[in-house]
């Protein structure tokens, strides 16, 4: 649809556009299977055939496999385009409904073409100019989104006509390049060069802060599919051993557990609203993941959530659910604004109390969180978004140390269930004190994480009983393990209330803390 009108916007079905995008993305599975079949065929030929003809056949199969796999990023991109269009239509329809409600409250009527008129049955209508402007704004948002989607799909169609062929782009960002420099490098590439990099160097593209969200998502989805295929192949090899030895059995269980985690992640990437974007993936060890709900590059409000102790790749769906609840509450409070929420689990979270008693892992994470937030700023399109960073439990220490030692590209910081943030006062965190927020449930055990003297700390770090962590009194009652309680007004920030719910209840639907977090994200 071109030149979106009032009736068209009322009738528009965002869910239909989302479903169309998901259908395109769903084709990546068959593409990957066909590519695997071609690779298997080539392997079998190499094992039983030699000579010039064999070399030529192998090259041809390799070429066919390359042509098949080159389609996958475009399928993901089509899904992104249609999902972004759907998201814009949701916001535009909400703004339209709000404008019509304002008209009704003002004694005005909106006709079927979007014209605003005085309702003769209503006394003393107010000036209709504000309502007309709101209606026009909703239609302009939908029209701009429609045109952008059409342009991007046209470009994809043109690229398909060339067979996705492109020579490798010259140069790569220097090691340690800032996100702003990475963004400048990426902007200088042609669309064909960018697609070549996504398809041939997904590990580079998927991990670079400063590369736009859409490209990182495409690259990391390819990496996820490749890693899953590797694990499936390893499982087949292990199962072929009859009977498997004890070491093979242990490895088989580990492979099965990681496959289950990746399958859950894959399912969330393929389903659910808003669309998920995979911005980082490292399946090694306990695993790391950075995942967004909604597109941060086009959102008005962006939340980055840093979870705490024991969080790993297998915990990502649950942690992502917490970010989703804040985003859902934001949508309820402000349906006319586009939001995005990011789960940032790109650090080695402590697994044990003895590890959590040290700030070392939080300090190690600070630089990466700093770069990620700088990257969000560098790749955002349009007016700057309001960026909020939320830390829970040990994650609040990660956020606090990153803000104090590196600086964070953030408009607001939030801490819930915090053992201290590595600072004595909100003024140390690099954002206005009025934008430093915290909440602590009255029954959160973290309130008992009191500081100890140096001897006690050394005992704890060596292997202390739980009593060494909990219950050590301090002189003021406001000192926690890692500094002044940020939920104490004396810290200098602001506090929002929380109901009872222990250490993990902040995201429960009836907890006022959920409203508090959403209002901070919205800046209200």
For the chain, give the mean pLDDT: 87
**Tens of pLDDT, residues 142-175:** 999 999 999 999 998 888 877 666 778 889 999 8
Q: What is the mean pLDDT of residues 223-248?
A: 81
pLDDT confidence band for 471 (50 / 70 / 90): very low
Determine how β-strand 301-306 pairs with β-strand 339-345.
parallel
Q: Which residues contact 118 (CB under 8 A, 6 or more apart)?
A: 107, 108, 109, 125, 128
Per-residue confidence (pLDDT) for residue 375, from 0 to 100: 98
pLDDT confidence band for 261 (50 / 70 / 90): confident
Cα atoms found within 13 Å of the Cα of residue 316, Cβ hemisphere only: 34
Instruction: Report the range of poorest mean pLDDT among 195-209, 220-234, 371-385.
Output: 220-234
Handedness of CA 420, 423, 427, 431 (dihedral sign): negative
pLDDT confidence band for 467 (50 / 70 / 90): very low
Cα separation, 312 vs 319, in Å, equals 9
Instruction: Report the range of poorest mean pLDDT among 123-132, 250-259, 452-461.
Output: 452-461
Cα separation, 428 vs 433, in Å, equals 9
Cα separation, 277 vs 292, in Å, equals 5
Per-residue confidence (pLDDT) for residue 3, from 0 to 100: 66
Whether residue 512 has pLDDT greater than 50: yes
Q: 203 vs 51, 173, 208, CA distance in Å?
A: 35, 14, 9
pLDDT confidence band for 234 (50 / 70 / 90): confident
Quote the percentage of the chain above a pLDDT of 70: 87
Per-residue confidence (pLDDT) for residue 451, from 0 to 100: 66
pLDDT confidence band for 470 (50 / 70 / 90): very low
Q: Where are the alpha helices (DSSP H) in 119-178?
A: 129-161
Per-residue confidence (pLDDT) for residue 45, from 0 to 100: 72
Threshold 0.85, pTM exceeds:
yes
Per-residue confidence (pLDDT) for residue 472, from 0 to 100: 41
Determine how β-strand 288-293 pairs with β-strand 339-345.
antiparallel
Top-confidence residue, 498 or 50: 498
Residue length of the chain: 524
Cα separation, 408 vs 430, in Å, equals 8
Per-residue confidence (pLDDT) for residue 152, from 0 to 100: 92
- Residues 258, 230: contact at Cβ < 8 Å? no
Per-residue confidence (pLDDT) for residue 392, from 0 to 100: 98
DSSP per-residue letters across 261-284? HHHHHHHHHHSSSSPEEEEEEE-S
Residue from 333, 363, 368, 336 nearest 350 by CA: 363
**Tens of pLDDT, residues 400-442:** 999 999 999 999 999 999 999 999 999 999 999 999 999 999 9
């Amino acid at each position: 649809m071109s030149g979106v009108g009032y009736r068209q916007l009322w009738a528009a079905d965002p869910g239909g556009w989302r479903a169309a995008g998901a259908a395109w993305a769903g084709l990546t599975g068959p593409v990957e299977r066909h590519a695997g079949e071609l690779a298997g065929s080539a392997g079998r030929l190499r094992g039983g055939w030699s000579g010039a003809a064999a070399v030529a056949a192998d090259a041809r199969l390799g070429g066919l496999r390359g042509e098949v796999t080159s389609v996958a990023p475009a399928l993901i991109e089509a899904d992104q385009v249609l999902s972004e269009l759907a998201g814009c239509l949701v916001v535009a329809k909400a703004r339209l409904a709000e404008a019509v409600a304002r008209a009704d409250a003002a004694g005005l009527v909106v006709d079927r073409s979007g014209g605003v008129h005085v309702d003769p049955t209503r006394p003393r209508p107010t000036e209709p100019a504000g309502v007309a402007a709101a209606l026009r704004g909703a239609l302009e948002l939908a029209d701009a989104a429609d045109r952008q989607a059409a342009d991007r799909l046209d470009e994809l169609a043109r690229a398909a006509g060339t067979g996705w062929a492109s020579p490798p782009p010259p140069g790569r960002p220097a090691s340690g390049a800032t996100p702003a420099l990475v963004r400048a490098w990426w902007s200088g590439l042609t669309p064909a060069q960018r697609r070549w990099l996504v398809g041939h160097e997904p590990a580079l593209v998927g991990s670079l802060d400063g590369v736009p969200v859409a490209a990182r998502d495409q690259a990391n989805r390819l990496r996820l599919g490749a890693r899953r295929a590797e694990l499936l192949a390893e499982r087949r090899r292990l199962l072929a051993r009859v009977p498997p030895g004890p070491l093979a059995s242990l490895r088989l269980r580990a492979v099965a557990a990681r496959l289950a985690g990746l399958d859950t992640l894959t399912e969330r990437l393929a389903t659910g609203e808003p669309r998920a974007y995979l911005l980082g993936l490292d399946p090694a060890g306990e695993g790391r993941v950075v995942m967004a709900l909604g597109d941060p590059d086009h959102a008005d409000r962006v939340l980055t959530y840093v979870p705490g102790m024991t969080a790993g790749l297998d915990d990502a769906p649950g942690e992502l659910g917490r970010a989703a609840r804040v985003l859902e509450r934001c949508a309820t409070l402000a349906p006319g604004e586009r939001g995005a929420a990011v789960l940032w689990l790109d650090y080695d979270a402590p697994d044990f109390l003895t590890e959590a008693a040290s700030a070392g892992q939080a300090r190690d994470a600070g630089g990466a969180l700093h770069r990620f937030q700088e990257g969000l700023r560098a790749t955002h399109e349009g007016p700057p978004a309001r960026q909020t960073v939320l830390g829970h439990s040990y994650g609040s220490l990660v956020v606090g140390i990153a803000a104090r030692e590196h600086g964070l590209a953030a408009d607001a910081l939030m801490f819930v269930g915090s053992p201290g943030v590595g600072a004595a006062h909100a003024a140390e965190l690099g954002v206005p004190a009025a934008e430093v927020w915290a909440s602590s449930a009255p029954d959160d055990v973290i309130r008992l994480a009191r500081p100890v003297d140096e001897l006690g700390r050394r005992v704890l770090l060596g292997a202390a009983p739980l009593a060494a962590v909990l219950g050590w009194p301090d002189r003021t009652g406001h000192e926690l393990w890692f500094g002044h309680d940020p939920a104490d007004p004396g810290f200098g920030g602001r506090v929002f209330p929380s109901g009872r719910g222990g250490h993990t209840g902040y995201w429960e639907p009836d907890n006022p803390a959920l409203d508090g977090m959403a209002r901070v994200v919205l800046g209200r």
